[in-house]
Structure 1
C-alpha cells in the first residue's frame, strides 16, 4: 500500500495567488492533536473533496494564536508540526498550508482574511468548526463568513463534537495530559499521546540499579504529562517495547530544577544514545517519591515493573 504524503506549504501574509494548480476544498483550524473532533471535520472535508474531485487543503498556523494575542510564551502543544503533518497525511489531506502567525497578521480584519487568505488559496469550499474565528470573534466568525465570502466559495460548518456531553477540544486534552489522565487523553484523541525526540545522556542512576533508562531529549514546546511513573510503549531501534517511564526532577539525587523523562524498556539492552525515540503514553501508575536510599528505590522499581507488565498483559488479552 502506497504511503500517504501531504505536501507542506509555508506561507506569509498576504498569501500569494496560484499556490495550487486547481481549486481546493479548504479545511480551517489549528488542529493541535488532530483529535476525534478534528478527524470528523477532516472526514467531512474529504467527502466534499472527493465528491467535487478536488484536492483537500488544510490551512493552519505555525504557532497557536494565543502566543500572540495573550502573550503565552509557554504554550504547550499536543503535536509538533511533523507530527501534525503525519496525521494529516493519514487523514487523506493533500496540502498542509502553514501561515506564519505574526503580530501584524493577528490584527487583520475578517474581510481581509477572507480576501487575502481564503480566496488567494483558491478555495472552492471552506470547511470549519462552528466556533472557528479569523479575527475579532464577535464579527469574524462562522455566522458572518457568508457575508464576507460574497458568494465566492461554498461553506460547510461542522457542529460541536462531544463525548459523554463534554466538548472534544485541544484545551481539554492538554489539561488531561497535564493531569496525567492518559486514558482520558486516549479517548479524546482517538490515539495515544506521543512524545518524540532523541536519546540523550541522563544521570545513569538507573544503570546502577539494574534498570537502565533511555533519556528523552524532546521539543520543549510539547505538553508534558504530570510528574510520576507511567505505563508506556517506547519506539527505539525500529521496534516498540513495553516500558515504564518516569517524569520527574530526580529528587533522589537532589536535582529539583530540570524535568527528566526517562524510559526503562523491558527486554532491551543496547547502547542507543543519539538515536531517535518515541514514547506512547498509556497509564499513570504512581506519583514521584523521594526515597531514603537507592535500595528503597530499587525495590519500588521492581514493583513498578511488575505492575506495568501485568497491565500490558491484561491489555493484550482485552485486545484479542
Structure 2
C-alpha cells in the first residue's frame, strides 16, 4: 500500500491477489489421518496442510425459539437460560468424549471419530434430547411459566471431512477450525428440520444403527419392546437423493436408559426381541417403502401434468 492509495482500494487489491495465489499458485497438502488424530493437532492458518478424516460423525444441537427467550428487561433471565441450556448440552458432548466441540450461539456441535464414534455420538444425541425435555425445559417452565416454547433439536450425519484452522495468520485468537464436507452441514439441516425434543438421523447413519437392538427397538417397559421407536422423515433442505432420514422423539427410559446407554457404548447389539416384533419392523419397512414409492409416482405424474 502506498501512502496516497485509499485504504479500501489497497485492501481489496491485496485480497484479490491473495485469492488468485490461493486458487492458482499455492501448494496444498492433504494428509489423511486415522481415528487416533487429536483435535489440538489441527493445522493453523499459516500451514499449507489440510487433514482428511475419512469418517466423522457430527451431532448438532439447536435451541428452538432462542430469539424469543428474553430481551430488554429480561436480560438476566436470558443469561440464565443460555448458561443452563448451552452448558448442559456441551457437557454432554464432552462426557461422551466428542473429539471436537464448537459452541455456536444457543447450541453447537460435537464431532466424533475413532473407536465407537457412532455409538458415542448417538448416546450423546439421545442424552441431549433427554436433558432437553426432562430436565432443562421442565425446570425452565417451573421458574418462568410464561417462557416461550423451547428445547433442543438434534441432528446427526457422518462422512468424510477436511479440516484446518482458517483466519488471520499469526493471530491464533482469530482462527477457527473449518470442517469442509457434509457432516456438519447435513447434521445442521437435520437439526433445523426437527421439532424440539427430537433427534433426526440421516439414512446413511441409520444404516449403522438399525441392526442394533438397543437402538432400533424400545425397551421392555410399557408393554414390551416395540418397533415404533423411530419414524421415517424427509429433510427437504438436503439434496433430493439424501433427504431420507429417521426421527426419534423419545429420550432415555428412566428405568432402562442407563443400562441401554452402557450397552451401546460397550458395543453390544443383541437383546431378546420376540420374532413377532422383528417381523413387525420388517413389515413396517416394506409398507413404508411402498408408500414412499407411491408418493414419488404421484409427484412425477403431477409434474408431467403441470399440477402443483
TM norm structure 1: 0.27
More helix by share: 2
More strand by share: 1
TM norm structure 2: 0.28
